[in-house]
Structure 1
Amino acid sequence: MRDLAVTLIVFGSLPFILKRPYIGILMWVWISVMNPHRESWGFATTFPFAAVIAATTLLSLVLTKDRKDFPVTPVTLVLIGFIIWMNVSTVFAIHPDQVYGNWNRVIKIMLMTIVTLMLIKTRRHIELFIAVLVFSLGFFGVKGGIFTVMSGGQFRVWGPADTFIGGNNEIALALIMVIPLMHYLQIMTDKKWIRHGLTVAMLLCAFAALGSYSRGALLAIAAMAGFLWLKSSKKLILGILMVISIPVLVAFMPDQWTERMDTISTYKEDSSAMGRINAWWMAYNLAKDRPLVGGGFEIYDLEVFGKYAPIPTDVHAAHSIYFQALGEHGFVGLGLYLLLGFLTWRCGSWIVRNTKKREDLKWAYHLAAMVQVSLIGFAVGGAFLSLLYFDVPYYLMAAMVITRRIIEEQLKSEAQLGRSNAGDIARSNAQALAPAASRFLG
């Protein structure tokens, strides 16, 4: 039944995608982030729905007569530079015969990010885009939160298998990132039942994140909560809510959860933590040896660790977006990635600064602020996870760029209208004064 439902939804959407290309982006986000076909057990599990949607969206992009120009901004230029550099590092990879699978997956994500930047144009598009992201990740948060509450936090929450967020740490970070986006939708709706529903969903996402037993997620929650408090206009109320709710959430978890979180302060005694540090040293040593291009994809094996790691036999994944960028793409790749994050942040700050006092642009103000909160969570939690190519942060980057473009165009239009009105008033005054001046001079 689930196989049939997903198939009908996907193929039923194709005519609408051909007519309205942005629907293809919404469907792509749903399929690539939520992976609903992974929740079935039949033919749909391995059917290439994403490829079907991507192909239809690209065809619609070619056929549409709507504006489809690519926004040329500092953020998008650095994104293009990062994509190019990933291709360069792939050419010079340590294992060139093994990199195609990862390269193919990453390039598809980057291609659809570029298409997103070309097809999402309006406030309505952006709000639907965010809503699909919230639904796609919130599904696992609600399900995982209920599981955590029902089990008393005795068992770990895991994400959908064979996806970016399949692991307990990865799903925890994704759920932390979606909470601010839920809050954005909550702010923007005037329907009480939606607001209350989103409140419940946010609490369940928090329970699910804690139920993952992820130590990195706990640090990300702390960083995100602190930044959210700083950005809030109601610091006293929010502070009181945090003081009340956070201890309640933590107190709900069993002793085994508390014992695992306590290992944050004793990481030198934890083999998992030390394995990550060994992988970080490997990435750093590799980058020193190959500073421009790094090692490319697929560098986490005995051969590479034997040459660059302090403990050659302790092979681990990167376990850090920053060391992953450094090891796979060198110092240039890491620099481009960090610059991309910095410019995206600056883009959000520009939106906040230029919309804060405009009631009609509050939607953009709240969106930029909540996306920044979400990205703070990713920046902290991602320091301990191999999620360099996780698509959601790139989609949030695209939402930020598109929002700024909308605001810039509106402000420019208003400025031009103001100058035009001022000119009309000046001409009208001049015409009114002309007869009197003529009589005076005559």
Structure 2
Amino acid sequence: MQLPNLERLFINRYQTVNVTAYCVLAALPSLIFPHPIALLPLAVIPLGLLFILRKPFVVCLIFILFSFFRLHEVFPQLDPIKIPLLTALASYFVLAWHIFLTEKVKVYWRHEHTIFARFFGWVVLGIAFSSYPPAAFGAFTSVYMKIGIMVLAISWMMTEHWHFKLAHFMIICSGLAVGAVTLYNNANGIGMVEETRVTIPGTSLGDPNDLSLVLSFPMSYAVAYASTKGTGKFRTLLGLTGIIVFVSSIIATQSRGGLLATVAVFGIFGLRIIKSKLLLISIGSFALMILVAAAGISDRKSGGAAEDGIDESAMGRIHAWEAAFNMALRNPMTGVGLDLFLDNYWDYATHSRAEGKAHVTHSTWFQVMSESGFVGFGLFGFMIFTVFMSIMGSLKRLDQSKGTPEYDPHISAIAAGTYAGLVGFCVSGTFLSQGFLWPVYIITAISIAIANYTDNHFHREQGQ
């Protein structure tokens, strides 16, 4: 019998590595868990490895959705599976695998990457000069480091047409899951704060303001589906359903920042449809009054009509903003450090403990200013401006391709949704502390990916 040619056997070194890895994975469980019943769940590990290697973007997307929407907290039955941890490790693994071994992930660097890297690097530098470096470093390793890696991962992996379609669809579906739980809690009086404001208790969305911000992000994508022709009847219906669920859920939170974000998101799409700015402003003002009335803001215990003068909620924000400004004033270069605003609050507050309690900044802008200094605040503002210009340029080029064979309604829809989502973040973020959490960075990564896709698939002269 003729032995197989060794050159033929090892002609594809990647297949050889894969087969070897699968054999090792198949052998290890029998050594660790000798009972045959315990081996059954582990039998799918090679198939799972094959999937994450073949579909790296899907793994990355699952991690983003669970991190942003906190799905494992909203649905506690999922928590024991440790999906965020597993998908995070899988994302780092497949990113390194496809960059260094298969070279299927093409690393590229754009101007937007540079601007993000400057701000990210300044925050990291500020850890060494923070008021308590161990706490700042802990906050960095637990959340912000993952954000930095995933911004690069999303922008590098999100390159195919189906990537954008899937991301758009899954963002809306994940938001609908959170919105459905919100409406269920509101109908059954679960997790209510101040008796009238709905939350999802026991999760990171236990604050109605944070919940409204999370819901406003998929709302922009739902409006994009509903208002973009050519995406299909099913996606249009999904967008209309999403609008109803998200607006109803935000109303139930009674968040003033959430209501302003809602008006801002619809206003962006209104600008694309209604030519008269005066008419649009009139419609927006009327819509805001309707939303405020529907939300029952006047019935709130804090910030409602029952309080005379400056209400307690507004006063708490003013005190927090004063403390934040003082932190930046005394530490103009690097601020007090990542996630250290509350720890330093009473050292910089202008009011006594008897006049109020310590508050989070309730503002993304003041949070960044206090925790990264005036320099960091300037870098953050320039990053937001750069992302704005990038997504606006991509959207303009896509709009100009209408009526040509190159026009793609799905890419146009996600671009419009991302643009509206950024506007919504800037509005609601003025009243929420989200400077070092996921929302703006996911938007940044998707904007970079869209810009790279349009550069590669659309003629540049169309955008000039």
Show the counterpart of 1:53. Answer: 87
Q: TM-score, normalised by structure 2?
A: 0.77
Partner AA of 2:330 in structure 1: D
1:161-200 alignment, distance < 5 Å: 161-163=202-204, 165-186=205-226, 187=228, 190-200=231-241
> 1:104-143 maps to which residues of 2 (within 5 A)?
104=141, 105-143=143-181
Cα distance in 2 for residues equivalent to 1:189 and 1:54: 35
Structure 1 gap segments, 5+ residues each: 1-6, 416-442
What amino acid does structure 2 have at the position aligned with 1:54? A
Match of 2:67 in 1: 32
**Structure-to-structure mapping, 1:56-71, within 5 angstroms:** 56-64=90-98, 65-71=102-108
Match for residue 317 of structure 1?
360
Please tell me whether the aligned partners of residues 320 and 387 of structure 1 are also in contact (alpha carbons under 8 angstroms).
yes
Q: Secondary structure at the match of 2:250?
A: helix
Q: What is the TM-score with the length of structure 1 in the denominator?
A: 0.80
Q: CA RMSD in A?
A: 3.4
Q: Deviations over 1:375-397 (max 9, x none)?
A: 11110110111111231321122
Contact 2:303 2:312 in 1 (8 A): no
Q: Which residue of 2 aligns with 1:271?
A: 312
Q: 1:68 to 1:233 in 2, by over 3 A?
A: farther
Structure 1 CA distance for aligned equivalents of residues 339 and 291 of structure 2:
39
Cα distance in structure 1, aligned partners of 2:294 and 2:182: 15
Contact 2:263-2:287 at 8 Å conserved across structures = no
Which digits, 9 at most, give the CA deviation of each residue in 1:386-436, with x for residues without a partner? 111231321122111111111112235999xxxxxxxxxxxxxxxxxxxxx
Match of 1:79 among 110, 116, 132: 116
Taking the aligned partners of 1:226 and 1:270, their CA distance within structure 2 comes to 28
Distance change (3 Å), C-alpha of 1:246 and 1:312:
closer
CA–CA separation in structure 1 for the residues paired with 2:418 and 2:82: 30
What SS does the aligned partner of 2:328 have? helix
Query: Does structure 1 residue 225 correspond to structure 2 residue 266?
Result: yes
| One-letter identity of the residue aligned with 1:295 | V
DSSP 3-state at the match of 1:156:
coil
Q: Please point out which of 438, 441, 445 is paired with 1:391.
A: 438
Cα 1:143–1:246 shift into 2, 3 Å: farther
- CA shift, 1:166, in A, is 3.4
Aligned partners of 1:270 and 1:199: how far apart in 2?
A: 36
Distance 1:94 1:247 in 2: 44
Distance 1:365 1:190 in 2: 10
**Counterpart Cα distance in 1 of 2:71 and 2:373:** 35
- The farther-off stretch of 188-197 and 88-97 is 188-197
Q: Give the alignment of 1:205-354 within 5 angstroms.
A: 205-232=246-273, 251-254=293-296, 257=299, 269-301=310-342, 304-313=344-353, 314-354=357-397
Distance in 2, matches of 1:386 and 1:126, equals 28
Please list every run of 5 or more consecutive structure 2 residues that lacks an aligned counterpart in the other structure. 1-40
Question: Which amino acid is the alignment partner of residue 57 of structure 1?
Answer: S
Structure 1 residue 17: Cα displacement: 1.2
How many corresponding residue pairs?
404
Measure, in 2, the Cα distance between the counterparts of 1:407 and 1:255. 43
SS in 2 for 1:269: coil
For 1:198 and 1:332, locate their aligned partners in 2 and report how far apart those are by CA, in whole Å.
40
Change (3 A) 1:381 1:13: farther
Q: Is the 8 A contact 1:144 1:204 kept in 2?
A: no
Cα distance change of structure 1 residues 122 and 233 upon mapping to structure 2, 3 Å threshold: farther
* CA deviation string 1:17-57 (max 9, x = no partner): 12221111122123212333224556x53654222212222
Query: More deviation in 211-220 or 221-230?
Result: 221-230
1:422 match = none
- Corresponding letter in the other structure for 1:210: I
Give 2:221's aligned amino acid: L
Q: 1:225 to 1:258 in 2, by over 3 A?
A: farther
In structure 1, the residue matched to 2:17 is none
Identity within the alignment, %: 22
Cα offset, 1:252, TM superposition: 4.4
SS at match of 1:121: coil
Cα offset, 1:13, TM superposition? 5.2
**Is the 8 Å Cα contact of residues 148 and 207 (structure 1) preserved in structure 2?**
no
Residue 88 of structure 1: aligned partner:
125
Is the CA contact (8 Å cut-off) linking 2:221 and 2:239 kept in structure 1?
A: no
Cα distance in 1 between the residues matched to 2:385 and 2:460: 28
Distance across 1 between alignment mates of 2:423 and 2:133: 34
2:417 counterpart (336, 350, 370) = 370
The answer as to whether partners of 1:95 and 1:298 remain within 8 angstroms in 2 is: no
Q: Cα–Cα, structure 1 residues 384 and 240, in superposed 2: closer, same or farther, change >3 Å?
A: closer
CA distance in structure 2 between the partners assigned to 1:140 and 1:258 by the alignment: 23
1:295/1:328 contact within 8 Å kept: yes
